[in-house]
Structure 1
Amino acid sequence: MRTVRESALDVLRTRGMTTVFGNPGSTELPFLKHFPDDFRYILGLQEAVVVGMADGYALASGTTALVNLHTGPGTGNAMGAILNARANRTPMVVTAGQQVRAMLTMEALLSNPQPTLLPQPAVKWAYEPPRPTDVPPALARAVQLAETPPHGPVFLSLPMDDFDAAVTRAEDQAAQATAAREVEHATAPRPETVRSLADRLKQARNAVLVVGDDVDSSGAWDAVVRLAERGGLPVWSAPASARVSFPHTHPLYRGELPPAIGPLTRALEGHDLVVVIGAQVFRYYPYVPGPYLPEGTELVLVTRDLEDAAKAPVGDAVVADPAATAQALAEHFPAREPAPAPDRRVRVPQAADGALPPGTALAAVVEGAPEDTLWVNESPSNVPQFHEAARISTPGSYLFSAGGGLGFGAAAAVGAQLGAPDRPVVAVLGDGSVHYAVQALWTASAYRLPVTFVVLSNARYAILQWFAQLEHAQGAPGLDIPGLDIPTVAAGYGVSSCRAESAGELTKSVRDATAQREGPVLIDVPVTTELPSL
């Protein structure tokens, strides 16, 4: 007779989930013992880093990630990263060990007293199987839920004595049949809905598209480009985008909308119809009041997220697959030749002394990086300068956290390199940001992952200094972080590191780091501070 462990491992094999991100505790050892050779365990030194790595892995590979945490304390440590994964719409199954069932009532040490409540509301579903034999089918159900749009993390609490329990042949076969189910998520819009929206686009005086993260993650990139070109529609990125969903070198691209109500509305002035595809309406912060749309402007949202459709403060909504909808809309417009892309190359100074302006530093980084780089960004105050320098124009090439919490960047870059091993991964990090997930450097070193970490060091939380200005909170403490020696910290984790103090030196360092495949490299770059603007 087979055990729960054997049946559960076969469920995971069926779903292609043989990479486990974890930080083991005593309650997880029964699951991990006799770890099979066809599985891969990726160790992180702290649970938030574990989830961040799994997040980057899932987003880069287009698969569902599997996480193994240590009961309640480990889940608590990971909560910020799980919230980021929820905002990123990342398909992820988060498991956590639990005390043996015989000691749960007395809440013995390491019991998680309310395991389904602790991870809420960051997960789509939280569950503790009522019987040991329910563990394999619960895993199968969890994967299906994680992969149902909108994607997101789910949580299972698994008592440690469940894994050696026996399952009958019938129970095992039922679990494997559940795991093998195929569910197709392809909500096509009604033809009359497409026809009506196409007519509105044609009749509008000056329509515009706004594209969001789900265009990239759902495979709608080409369809949206075709729709924009055939309709001659200018395209904005939704505010605070976590992915690039339209080529930034395209002549129809206008940039990223500001993330505040009043400034965003001003940016859309002159447009009488706004069609938003694959984005929330809208990701606002900070609060700058104003009307949600210019007077006389109408909005239609195309989304596969029922929640985004329901919570939009303005406009109509079509709940349907973005790729299918954009493709169907494009068919209502005649084909036309796209205009040539303008020359927007950023010219990099070849010599500079002292701290570099962020734009100069980022242009130098881009100059040294290969064409097919997968970029991970967690330098919040320098996002506009990054996009100006990088001009990303291929799908699946940019990851940023949609959740607003730090700690995603370094960890996600490690996971992204595991998920896309044939692509160079370059992480652009702030010197404040890197310390939220600094343990990720050890994993990169231990697994010899050739991630290039570029740290823009200005000895402060510059994004908070900007918010302090907006919120009239000048004089707030804790916004400066002097005395960080990041290359020495990296060396302590086994990562080769250096400091680049000129544009030319930085370009060469990035070129050398991305050319080698022996392990991670960290490049520390002193930069000046340039606060964003709305």
Structure 2
Amino acid sequence: MVTVSDAFYAILQRHGVGAVFGNPGSNELSFLTGLPPGIPYYLALQEGAAIGMADAYAQASGTIGFLNLHAASGTGNAMGGLTNTAACHTSVVIMAGQQARRYVPVDAMLTNNEAIKLCDPLVKWAGEPLRPEDVPVLLSRALMLADSAPRGPVYLSVPLDDWDKPVDEAAFSQLLNRSSSAAPVAHQAPLDELTDALRTAASPALVLGPGVDTEPGFTSAIALAERANLPVYIAPSPPRSPFPTRHPCYQRQLPSAVGALADALSGHDVIVTFGAPVFRYHAPSDADYLPPGVRLLGVTDDPDEAARAPIGRLIVGDPSDALARVAQAIDRTDRPKPPVRTVPEADTSGPKYTAEAILDAVDRGKSDDAMIALEWTSADLIRDRLTITRPHSLFYCASGGLGWGLPAAVGLGLGCPDRPVLALIGDGAMQYTPSALWSAVRYRVPATFVVCTNTKYRALQEFSELLHVPGGDYLDISGIDVVKVAEGYGVAAHRAESLDDVTEFVSPGEREQMPRLIEVLQR
């Protein structure tokens, strides 16, 4: 007899799921009974840490992340992290349990599942089985939907007494043989329009987003920029870094205010975007979206992103594929090369250091292979001081939901153990999910954590100034000993004595075997 549990794990393995992350409750214990040896279970001590680990693991490994949570309360604890997963289009299946069918009337189970209602606005699909034998069918559907463009999280709820029930073996065998390919390809006609706009523009610009932080997208962006002499910008608040930051065509990351963004793109007559929402705005502004007369054309694989863009001619299709096709179609131009970006010198005086100086110290020490989990809001707009030379090198909380970065570093290390992992975390952001340090120690993830301490909620302080709101002591977060917190979870930690100390600490050297942390005092 093939049970629901047998079928469930066979389907996970068929779809390449390599790990389960979770913080289970009583309803999920039955699920753990059949966990096969080939799929490790990585425990997190809090749901926000669990989803950050699963999300980053999926991004780093290129596989589907699988997250096991308790029902309503556990899902609720993960909601902040789920906003990042949804905004980043990460393929994650969230599986939660329900009470046993014998305890819950069928109509109540089908219509009153609090967890499904809670997460529904953030997931592509949510479901629960009408019968135990439907569990494998819904799992197969969930896995395919999570990995279909536009990728994103899905949610599956399973009653705790379904796992040992028999399945329809004939139907199950078909599930193991089916697959889907759901990567949209942009039609050629609108891509030709975009290509012609680039050819005939007097001063075009290229704006890139996280959707082209892939091997083909990264190399195609370089090829297009060099063939057409295009200045390259990164779209506002990017969760990834899709272009080398030391390339002569690279200009800057665009600001997240309408007026400031329009000013940054002034002087260009055609803007082409690939793999980016158009655009993410955070700071308030009454200005127009773009300077008058500017045309914007772009490609995204998310129809919703295309529909909600307030400006431009948006094409739905795989942005990396479209970028490669446009790069091949563009002839070399005699258009002047864009100005070469200069990085301002940093003030290196201490003992408290500027964000620029800390980034430079980290950059001197890190390797080009490093994968960086960034959740340090002081560095958001100057993150391109870091040298990025290859795709999948920088990861940021896509919706700005704090608490993602620390567990993300753990997930990156588990998902791609061949590359060193470096986490740049603010002292306030660290307090959202410090328990992720326990998981890093438990699973021997050799991540290097750099925690920058300014004892302030600086992001809100800056917004207080922008909105002309009086500041106050309520934004002070002093009194936390970051080093002792880390040591309490078993992480070797110390406070930096100099910028050279930071550089030496993050230098790869001999590969570390365990996580470690350094605290840097920031102005």
Q: What TM-score, normalized to structure 1? A: 0.93
- Structure 1, 246-255 or 33-42: larger mean CA deviation: 33-42
Q: Distance in 2 between matches of 1:340 and 1:310?
A: 32
Match of 2:431 in 1: 435
Cα pair distance change 1:472/1:106, threshold 3 Å: farther
Q: Deviations over 1:426-464 (max 9, x none)?
A: 000000001111110000011111000000001011111
Q: Which residue of structure 2 aligns with residue 127 of structure 1? A: 127
1:490 corresponds to: 486
Q: Flag the 1:35–1:407 CA change in 2: closer, same or farther, 3 A.
A: same
Aligned partners of 1:376 and 1:400 also within 8 Å = yes
Give the Cα–Cα distance (whole angstroms) in 1 for the partners of residues 191 and 66 of structure 2. Answer: 38
**1:257, 1:346 → 2: CA distance?**
17
CA-atom RMSD in angstroms: 2.3
Q: Structure 2 vs 1, CA of residues 426 and 244 (structure 1 numbering), >3 Å: closer, same or farther?
A: same
Matches of 1:457 and 1:476 in 2, distance apart? 19
Alpha carbons 2:9, 2:35 under 8 Å: kept: no
Q: Which of 365, 372, 379 is the aligned partner of 1:375?
A: 372
Q: Give the Å deviation of 1:340.
A: 12
Question: Match for 2:181 among 175, 180, 183?
Answer: 183
Q: Which of 278, 299, 303 is matched with 1:302 structurally?
A: 299
Q: SS state of the match for residue 439, structure 2?
A: helix
| Alpha-carbon distance between aligned partners in 2 of 1:55 and 1:219, rounded to the nearest angstrom | 22
Which residue number in structure 2 is paired with residue 285 of structure 1?
A: 282
Choose which of 220, 235, 240 in structure 2 pairs with 1:243: 240
Partner of 1:524: 519
- Aligned-partner Cα distance in 1 for 2:464–2:339: 38
Alpha-carbon separation, structure 2, partners of 1:120 and 1:391 = 38
Structure 2: gaps of 5 or more residues: none
Alignment partners' CA distance in 2, 1:168 and 1:120: 29
For 1:407 and 1:429, locate their aligned partners in 2 and report how far apart those are by CA, in whole Å.
10
Instruction: Name the counterpart of 1:157.
Output: 157
Letter in 2 for 1:378: E
Query: In the alignment, residue 404 of structure 2 is paired with which amino acid?
Result: F
Equivalent pair of 1:348/1:503 in contact (CA under 8 Å): no
Contact in 1 for aligned 2:253/2:384 (Cα 8 Å): no
Within 1, Cα distance between the matches of 2:113 and 2:473? 37
Change (3 A) 1:236 1:343: closer
2:455 is the counterpart of 1:459 = yes
2:383 equivalent to 1:386: yes
Indicate conservation of the 8 Å contact 2:20/2:39, yes or no.
Answer: yes
Partner of 2:18: 18
Q: How many angstroms apart in 1 are the aligned matches of 2:116 and 2:27?
A: 17
**Aligned-pair distance for 1:70?**
0.8
Contact 2:225 2:232 in 1 (8 A): yes
Distance (Å, rounded) in 2 between the aligned partners of 1:234 and 1:40: 45
Check the 8 A contact 2:258/2:286 in 1, yes or no.
yes
What secondary structure is seen at the aligned counterpart in 1 of 2:351?
A: coil
TM-fit CA distance, 1:182: 3.6
Contact between 2:85 and 2:152, CA under 8 Å: does it hold in 1? yes
Q: Could you tell me how far apart the structure 2 residues matched to 1:214 and 1:200 are?
A: 22
Counterpart CA distance in 2 for 1:11 and 1:225 is 39
Report the alpha carbon displacement of residue 171 of structure 1 after superposing the two structures with TM: 2.9
1:72–1:112 Cα contact (<8 Å) kept: no
Cα displacement string for residues 69-124 of structure 1 (whole angstroms, at most 9, x for unaligned residues)? 01111111111111110011110000001100121239999x97334212121111
- Supply the AA of the counterpart residue of 2:417: P
Structure 1: gaps spanning 5 or more residues: 529-534
| 8 A Cα contact 1:257 1:267, kept in partner | yes
Q: What amino acid is aligned across from residue 97 of structure 2 in structure 1?
A: G
Counterparts of 1:354 and 1:207, CA distance in 2: 44
Amino acid at match of 1:507: T
CA distance in 1, matches of 2:108, 2:200: 68
- Provide, for residues 314-337 of structure 1, a one-character-per-residue CA deviation record: whole Å limited to 9, x for no partner: 111111221222222223322479
CA contact 1:189–1:325 (8 Å) conserved in 2: no
The secondary structure found in structure 1 opposite 2:461 is helix
Which digits, 9 at most, give the CA deviation of each residue in 1:211-262, with x for residues without a partner?
1110115841111221121111111110111111111111111101110001
Q: Which residue of 2 aligns with 1:196?
A: 193
8 Å CA contact 2:405, 2:425 repeated in 1? yes
CA distance in 2, matches of 1:434, 1:499: 15
In structure 2, the partner of 1:148 is 148
How far, CA to CA, are the matches of 1:167 and 1:106 in structure 2? 19
Aligned-partner Cα distance in 1 for 2:459–2:151: 29
CA change 1:112–1:48 in 2 (3 A) is farther
SS at match of 1:27: helix
Aligned to 2:510: 515
Residues 264-307 of structure 1, C-alpha deviation per residue, up to 9 Å, x if partnerless?
Answer: 11111111111111111100001112111101111112111100
- Go from structure 1 to structure 2 and tell me whether the alpha carbon gap of 1:375 and 1:330 turns closer, same or farther (over 3 Å shift): same
Contact 1:7 1:175 in 2 (8 A): no
CA shift, 1:344, in A, is 6.1
User: Does the Cα contact within 8 Å between 2:361 and 2:500 map onto a contact in 1?
Assistant: yes
Which position in structure 1 is the counterpart of 2:360? 363
TM-superposed deviation, 1:369: 1.6
Q: Describe the superposition over 1:335-354 as per-residue Cα deviations: whole angstroms up to 9, x where unpaired.
A: 479979969688889x8541
- Encode CA deviations 1:478-526: one digit per residue, 9 max, x unaligned: 31101110110101101010110311122122226x6332200010111
Identity %: 41
TM superposition score normalised by structure 2: 0.95
Q: Quick one: distance in 1 between partners of 2:311 and 2:511?
A: 50
Q: Which sits farther off after the overlay, 427-436 or 368-377?
A: 368-377
AA paired with 2:422? Answer: V
Q: Please state whether the residue corresponding to 2:118 is helix, strand or coil.
A: coil
Distance (Å, rounded) in 2 between the aligned partners of 1:164 and 1:285: 49
Q: Report the alpha carbon displacement of residue 411 of structure 1 after superposing the two structures with TM.
A: 0.7
Question: Residues 112 and 381 of structure 1: is their aligned pair in 2 closer, same or farther, counting only changes over 3 Å?
Answer: farther
Displacement of 1:24 in angstroms is 1.9
User: Does 2:502 align with 1:506?
Assistant: yes
**Could you say what secondary structure the match of 2:484 adopts?**
helix
Please give the per-residue CA displacement for 1:13-60, whole angstroms capped at 9, x wherever unaligned.
101113000112111111101432111000000011100100111111
User: Does the 8 Å CA contact 2:214/2:320 hold for their aligned counterparts?
Assistant: no
Equivalent residue number for residue 532 of structure 1 = none
